[in-house]
Homo-oligomer: A and B are copies of this chain.
Amino acid sequence: MSQSTDHFADRLITASGKKGAPVCVGLDPVIERMPSEIQGDPTERIESWCLGVLEAVTEHAPAVKPQLACFERYGSQGYAVYERVVTAAKAMDLLVIADGKRGDIGLSSAHYAAGLLAGGNAADALTVNAYLGADGLEPFTDAAESAGAGLFALVRTSNPGGDALQGLPLADGRSVNQAVGQIVADLGASKPGYIGESGYSLLGAVVGATKPQDAVALRELMPQQLFLVPGFGAQGGGADDVKACFKPDRTGAVITASRSVIYAHEKSSSSDWRTAISHAAAEFNRQIRSILDG
C-alpha cells in the first residue's frame, strides 16, 4: 500500500472531520488483559486482538496509535505483527501514529525514519524524543516531508515523573518543556514544505492533558503544532484540560485514549469484546465532540 503524499496535518484534520472528532485510540496489546477467548501463542494473540480492535474503532476514530514497545516485546516476530497491523489499519481507513518515541542523531535518525515512515508498512506518523536537539530531529522532519508523514515530539508528558525534568524553571524564565517547545516550533517552520494547507506543521508535539497550565502556555508558543494529547480520562485529564490543547477554531489537537477503550470488555456487560470496544470508542468520540461543542 503506498502512502499518500498529501501533508499529514491536512490528512489528519480531514479524517477527524469525517469521523466526527479528533480522537486516536492507543493500541497497546498486553497479553494479560486480553479477552480469554483469544488463543494462540503470544504473537498470534496480539495480531488477532489488534485486528479486532481496528475493526471495532474505525467507525469512531480517525487514527490509531500502536505502541511499538508492546510489539518489540516479542522481538522480530512481534515487529512483523506490527507491520501487518499497520497495513491492516491503513486498509481500514485509519491513520497510524507509531508510538516509538525514537530519538537519535544524523544517519541513525534517518534510518529510523526510513524504516518506520517509508516503504510498504509505513506509518502515517511517529512520536519522537527531542532531548538530542534539532539536529537529531531534522532527519526525521526531512523524511516525513518526502513521505507525507507526520511527527509528534515529546514536549510535556502526562506521567507524574515528567515534572522532575520537564517542569524545571530555566534561568531565562522559561521552563524546560517550553525550551523544547521552542525548538519544535522553530524546526517545524524552518522549511516551507513542512507546513500544510491547514497552516499546521508536519512536526507536532505530545502535550499531556494532565498539565493544563503548561498546555495553555505551549498552545501560545506553538501555534503551528498539532498536539497529540494523552492523559484524558484514566490518567485524570478532564474537559477543561483537553480544551486548553485546542485553538478557538476547534483545530490543533488530537486526543488519545488507550486502556479505557481497548480494555472496555473488562467493565462491560456486552458478551462480545469487540462490541464493548466499539461502544467505548463511540463514547470517547462523543465526549470529545461534546467538549469541543461546549
Contact = CB atoms under 8 A, between A and B. Distances in A.
Contact of A105 (B82, B105, B159, B168): B159
Given A116-B72, A157-B105, A168 B179 contact: yes
Interface in A120-169: 121, 129-136, 154, 157, 159-166, 168-169
Nearest to A112: B69
A75 B98 CA distance: 13
A30 interface: yes
A142 B21 CA distance: 39
Given A103-B129, A115-B72, A115-B75, A161 B136 contact: yes
Given A133-B165, A159-B132, A104 B183 contact: no
A274 B155 CA distance: 44
Nearest to A29: B111
Contact of A165 (B107, B108, B183): B183
A213 to B, nearest CB: 17
B115 A73 contact: yes
B75 A79 contact: yes
A126 B176 CA distance: 26
A73 B161 contact: no
Contact of A108 (B70, B111, B172): B70
Nearest to A80: B76
A166 B136 contact: no
Q: How many copies of this protein are present in the complex? A: 2
A102 interface: yes
Interface residues of A, number: 60
A51 interface: no
Interface in A211-231: none
A96 B151 CA distance: 30
Nearest to A119: B75
B79 A76 contact: yes
Contacts of A133: 157, 159-166
A74 B116 CA distance: 9
A108 B161 contact: no
Contacts of A59: none
A180 interface: yes
Nearest to A173: B171
Nearest to A134: B161
Contacts of A102: 69, 101
A28 interface: yes
A106 interface: yes
B108 A67 contact: yes
Interface of A: 28, 30, 67, 69-70, 72-80, 82-83, 99, 101-109, 111-112, 114-116, 119, 121, 129-136, 154, 157, 159-166, 168-172, 176, 179-180, 183
9 contacts: A28-B108, A70-B108, A76-B82, A101-B104, A103-B103, A131-B131, A131-B157, A133-B163, A134-B164
